[in-house]
Amino acid sequence: MQRFIPDSYYQASRRVTLAPSSTLDSDVTADVCIVGGGVTGCSAALHLAERGYRVVLLEAGEIGHGASGRSGGQILPGFGTDMSTIERAVGQEAARRLWEMSCESVRLTESLVRRHEIPCDLVWGYVHVAVKRRHVSAMRRHAERMAERYGYHGEHWLDRERLQAHVRAEGYLGGLYDAEGGHLHPLNYTLGLAQAAQRAGAVVHTGTPALRVESGRQPRVVTAAGSVRCAFAVIACNAYLDGLVPALAGRLMKVANYIIATEPLEAATARAILPSNAAVSDANFVLDYYRLSADRRLLYGGEVSYTGQPPRGLDSRMRDKMRSLFPALQNVGIDYRWGGDVGITRNRAPDFGRVDSNIFYAQGYSGHGMTLAGLAGQLLADAIGGQAERFDDFAAIDHRRFPGGERLRVPLLALATTFYRLRDRL
């Protein structure tokens, strides 16, 4: 029987060592207190510290403990929803600015990796593959629309035959190749941002959950053994927020998502399945996504859970799906499996805003946060510095709460997903 190690491949391949950090055990002051040590929080800490702010970052676990250190690591221009949803929310002009910012977030990721020499195996190329006939027409329309309305020419339709240059799997009908997408090692990227923030002067306290955030002229973030009195607070907890800020409850749902990592593949096998080393995701609502790691493991993600517990039969289902796509992997072992929580909003657009005039938040990337969260950090720093226009373009997206109140929210979302999962099969 296959033995699964219930731990992340990323933890086993971390290459960035942070300056030692301790838990917070006293009352301190700062210009900005950031809660959450994922990409959003670490990028905000870096951009703020570089501008001379005294920054304290509180992380409940380790840096990258949340989605940022568990993610598929796929670099995806755009959002977790299509641009027509964004247009309906904010109008065409603002939608164009938001689209431009999503592309900027990809360039920002590249420049942060370069500037801070983050060893995160950044690779370019991404393919969105069609599983159903309706995906083919929808994708082709999407690429035309993005070129016409947004001047975006990055996506190229590949028929079955041309898709072979990137993905050699059973059953795909074609795909959209985007050279501006790609992939990276998400934990090393997050740790690299934290290390750069530390070097710029930010103080990081790990193992320090914030217990409450008190509003006021000078907000106070309270922990078990200390507190941070600050001019500004940033909430960067995304799906891991739990009850910390009640005003944000109901705007975000957490959905667990899982990844398996094979043992390292022979170079010829890796080339035979993913010749260009692109990242791939399919067009289903409950999607599967995968890519190669730097040491040629196939990292294969998919499946969801609303209970926080891995669904029954998860391991064998993921392994079977991977092997039916790539029969060449029939006898390849699985070394790791792990999960993480994705923070989704009702319309799948990101949710940025203020809890109070001096308490900011950015969350709800809906599975598209790997690069956007880096830009969110920069926009949070801009907004705190008084340049809030671009942050406010995001904050203008209206977000409705999930229906059903605290008790029924999860079952209703699970029901809706079951509907879409059935539709994926048609």
Ligand X SMILES: Cc1cc2nc3c(=O)[nH]c(=O)nc-3n(C[C@H](O)[C@H](O)[C@H](O)COP(=O)(O)OP(=O)(O)OC[C@H]3O[C@@H](n4cnc5c(N)ncnc54)[C@H](O)[C@@H]3O)c2cc1C
Candidates 259, 265, 299, 359: give the one binding ligand X (CB under 6 A).
259
In the complex, the smallest distance separating the C-beta of residue 202 from ligand X, rounded to whole angstroms, is 15
For ligand X, give the closer residue by CB, 41 or 125.
Answer: 41
In the complex, the smallest distance separating the C-beta of residue 81 from ligand X, rounded to whole angstroms, is 13
In the complex, the smallest distance separating the C-beta of residue 31 from ligand X, rounded to whole angstroms, is 18
- DSSP assignment of 269-300 equals HHHHH-TT--EEEESSSS--EEEE-TT--EEE
Candidates 244, 248, 299, 349: give the one binding ligand X (CB under 6 A).
244
In the complex, the smallest distance separating the C-beta of residue 109 from ligand X, rounded to whole angstroms, is 10
For residue 258, the tally of other CB atoms under 10 A from its CB is: 21
Distances (CA, A) of 248 to 178, 355, 359, 361, 402: 34, 8, 12, 9, 11
Helix (H, G, I), strand (E, B) or coil at 348: coil
> What residues between 46 and 105 interact with ligand X by CB under 6 A?
58-61, 65-68, 70-74, 76
Sole window of 108-116, 170-178, 261-269, 337-345 interacting with ligand X (rule: CB under 6 A): 337-345
In the complex, the smallest distance separating the C-beta of residue 350 from ligand X, rounded to whole angstroms, is 9
Which residue, 251, 282, 307, is CA-closest to 130?
A: 282
Sole window of 303-311, 334-342, 406-414, 417-425 interacting with ligand X (rule: CB under 6 A): 334-342
- Tokens 């510095």 map to which residue? 385
Where residue 59 falls (left for φ over 0; alpha for ψ -120 to 50; beta otherwise) is beta
In the complex, the smallest distance separating the C-beta of residue 168 from ligand X, rounded to whole angstroms, is 21
The span from the CA of 19 to the CA of 16, in Å, is 10
Q: What is the separation of C-alpha 399 from the centre of its chain, rounded to a whole number of angstroms?
A: 19
In the complex, the smallest distance separating the C-beta of residue 426 from ligand X, rounded to whole angstroms, is 25
In the complex, the smallest distance separating the C-beta of residue 259 from ligand X, rounded to whole angstroms, is 6
Give me the torsion for CA of 378, 379, 380, 385, rounded to 10°. Answer: 90
Candidates 191, 202, 239, 314: give the one binding ligand X (CB under 6 A).
239
Pairing of strands 298-305, 289-292: antiparallel
In the complex, the smallest distance separating the C-beta of residue 233 from ligand X, rounded to whole angstroms, is 11
The span from the CA of 25 to the CA of 28, in Å, is 9
Partners of 253 in the beta sheet? 344
Helix (H, G, I), strand (E, B) or coil at 56: strand
Residue positions counted in the chain: 426
The span from the CA of 36 to the CA of 60, in Å, is 7
Q: What is the separation of C-alpha 158 from the centre of its chain, rounded to a whole number of angstroms?
A: 26
Where residue 334 falls (left for φ over 0; alpha for ψ -120 to 50; beta otherwise) is beta
For ligand X, give the closer residue by CB, 351 or 393.
Answer: 351
Candidates 10, 21, 34, 40: give the one binding ligand X (CB under 6 A).
40
In the complex, the smallest distance separating the C-beta of residue 235 from ligand X, rounded to whole angstroms, is 9
Partners of 124 in the beta sheet? 182
Could you say which DSSP state residue 54 is in?
-
Site string for ligand X, 348-387 (x = CB under 6 A): -----------------x-xxxx--x--------------
For ligand X, give the closer residue by CB, 200 or 342.
Answer: 342
# chain residues binding ligand X, by CB under 6 A: 42
Which residue, 103, 104, 81, 98, is CA-closest to 391?
A: 98
For ligand X, give the closer residue by CB, 243 or 386.
Answer: 243
> What residues between 380 and 419 interact with ligand X by CB under 6 A?
none
In the complex, the smallest distance separating the C-beta of residue 68 from ligand X, rounded to whole angstroms, is 3
The residue number with the shortest CB distance to ligand X is: 369
For ligand X, give the closer residue by CB, 307 or 330.
Answer: 307
> What residues between 201 and 230 interact with ligand X by CB under 6 A?
209-210
Q: Rounded to 5 degrees, what angle do the CA atoms 315, 321, 325 make?
A: 145
For ligand X, give the closer residue by CB, 60 or 176.
Answer: 60
> What residues between 276 and 315 interact with ligand X by CB under 6 A?
301
For ligand X, give the closer residue by CB, 135 or 185.
Answer: 185
Helix (H, G, I), strand (E, B) or coil at 222: strand
Sole window of 119-127, 225-233, 340-348, 414-422 interacting with ligand X (rule: CB under 6 A): 340-348
Instruction: Kindly list the residues in this chain that would bind ligand X in the complex (CB under 6 A).
Output: 35-41, 58-61, 65-68, 70-74, 76, 209-210, 236-241, 244, 257, 259, 301, 340-342, 365, 367-370, 373
